[in-house]
Chain A
């Protein structure tokens, strides 16, 4: 008789709603915020900044993809990755600088993500949401996402209107600008309210490499200098605040 009762339970298991996976896998929301800065202060598009090469510049656009977000615990090796994890963080859109990710409950010591878009999504046709090509982060003539954009004006630039234009991307072998960021951070999904991450654009110019506006005002295709700039901005992130109750 007990066995028969089990039979009744089976359909409940078989047909349980897939959507409701938060209760099944213990997912909890974690707010992630990006503070976009220049030289240690929030970016002000009216301010004339000076990089380490002594070049003065103003910023007009700054945006980048934060994808494949993952919380990791280096001692237990437990990991939790956000599903469909693509976020476009945009200076011009304050709402894009805060978002909520659903991760498995637990204690973690690393917050990981990539800057850019994984190669699969670069070769799988039209995408939607944050990856919608209408966002202007897509090369139409040489298929692939622009991972990060920094645009502005500088008297050091020899380009029209003294513009500098850095569109960084590339996923193919030899041109791979996808950079994995691993930030140390003690947090607990299920308890921690918010992770606040700084991204300081000074690192685009003064990172592991030096990017001079005068010598290179325009980068708009994969490979070459794009790889050096990706190495630079990969160092621009820091966990600034971990907000616990």
Chain B
């Protein structure tokens, strides 16, 4: 009897293995070996959004995403890769441009934001119109004043390229190249861009200390700025009207274009202040060429309208000494290791 049990137990496993193997014999490409990566969560950061539930990050997907990010072929004439408006040395904003430039000598209508810590963002764009990191690149790729291309054409170009065929196969274990895979690879690359190694972060971790001026600036920041520019992302991701007079050419209604609600008129997303010293100019349309000019706007320029933020209606009282301290503190938000990180640089 014991023998029978042993034999039957063996049969149990063997038959299982045979059937299991049989099931695997489908017409799919054998999944190539992938190396899993994960987004590092800096101390004090909340959990990331659920962007990667169906899109596990791998080294191969990240590498593919990086190649796509720096490839001009994603644009109609080959001149406008994502990186043309998102430059690493400018913390992935556009250096020295109020409105970024697109195909055919055209301006876009807004200032290109820096790219960092995107895995923590609920929505994208100054008006929050984009609800998922994967679908964000569709906007610049197809906008006629940005990359001016069609998704169909981009995929066609990728399919015709032997290097891409190999990289897509490695990243997604499939011989087919689809827009979904392209967008997921881009999301993997952008999601990995975490910036949290500024002096501010090192002070918070107890590794360094603020100077007296930085400390005064931080205290002032905590009193006057941090409700909207909430730590650790330095934005509360809300939409607010900061009392900017409307530009009569752009006529940008901000959040209202998305929600169609009058209470959202000329509201824009609170931008992060991480790497703020690298991302000039400032404001949704880049109208401020220095951080000092932004602070001056809050001190004396705020225009009161029906949707002006209650926190700014009475302007901010910041004297010149405080302004200097604030500027010194904001300098501690620069993460030089991020802008020099070879992982995010063009190969």
Whether B183 pairs with A126 at a CB distance below 8 angstroms is yes
- Taken together as a complex, chains A and B put the C-alpha atoms of A134 and B182 apart, in Å, by 12
Q: Which residues of A contact B257 (CB under 8 A)?
A: 142
Known A133-B179, A140-B138: A7·B8 in contact at CB below 8 Å: yes
- Taken together as a complex, chains A and B put the C-alpha atoms of A17 and B19 apart, in Å, by 8
Whether A11 pairs with B12 at a CB distance below 8 angstroms is yes
Whether B8 pairs with A4 at a CB distance below 8 angstroms is yes
The A contact surface, by secondary structure, is loop
Chain A: minimal CB distance from B143 (Å): 7
- Chain B residue nearest to A172 (CB atoms) is B259
Select one of A8, A17, A19, A224 contacting B15, CB under 8 A: A8
Known A14-B16, A123-B132: A223·B152 in contact at CB below 8 Å: no
- Taken together as a complex, chains A and B put the C-alpha atoms of A181 and B13 apart, in Å, by 49
Whether B135 pairs with A126 at a CB distance below 8 angstroms is yes
Chain A: minimal CB distance from B328 (Å): 38
Q: Which residues of B contact A19 (CB under 8 A)?
A: 23, 26
Known A133-B151, A143-B131: A126·B179 in contact at CB below 8 Å: yes
One digit per residue, 1 when the CB lies within 8 angstroms of any chain B CB and 0 when it does not, for chain A 120-148 equals 00111111100011100010111100000
Whether A11 pairs with B16 at a CB distance below 8 angstroms is yes
Check if B41 is an interface residue, CB within 8 A of chain A: no
- Which one of A11, A14, A127 has the greatest number of beta carbons of chain B within 10 Å? A11
Q: Which residues of B contact A4 (CB under 8 A)?
A: 4-5, 8
- Which one of A18, A127, A143, A224 has the greatest number of beta carbons of chain B within 10 Å? A143
Chain B: minimal CB distance from A24 (Å): 14
Check if B139 is an interface residue, CB within 8 A of chain A: yes
Check if B321 is an interface residue, CB within 8 A of chain A: no
Check if A10 is an interface residue, CB within 8 A of chain B: yes
Q: Which residues of B contact A41 (CB under 8 A)?
A: none
Select one of A15, A18, A175, A221 contacting B16, CB under 8 A: A15
Check if B155 is an interface residue, CB within 8 A of chain A: yes
Check if A95 is an interface residue, CB within 8 A of chain B: no
Select one of B12, B129, B150 contacting A143, CB under 8 A: B129
- Taken together as a complex, chains A and B put the C-alpha atoms of A133 and B166 apart, in Å, by 23
Whether B4 pairs with A11 at a CB distance below 8 angstroms is no
Q: Which residues of B contact A141 (CB under 8 A)?
A: 125, 129-130, 139, 143
Q: Which residues of A contact B23 (CB under 8 A)?
A: 15-19
Whether B178 pairs with A128 at a CB distance below 8 angstroms is yes
Whether A224 pairs with B132 at a CB distance below 8 angstroms is no
Q: Which residues of A contact B26 (CB under 8 A)?
A: 19
Binding site for B on A (CB under 8 A): 1, 4-5, 7-8, 10-12, 14-19, 122-128, 132-134, 138, 140-143, 175, 221, 223-224
Binding site for A on B (CB under 8 A): 4-5, 8-9, 11-13, 15-16, 19-20, 22-23, 26, 51, 54-55, 125, 129-135, 138-139, 141-143, 150-152, 155, 178-180, 183-184, 187, 257-258, 260
- Of all A-B residue pairs in the complex, the 5 with the closest CB atoms, nearest first, are A125-B134, A11-B16, A126-B183, A134-B151, A140-B138
Given A5-B8, A132-B180, A142-B129, 10 other A-B contacts at CB below 8 A? A15-B20, A17-B23, A125-B134, A125-B135, A126-B180, A128-B179, A133-B135, A140-B143, A141-B130, A142-B130
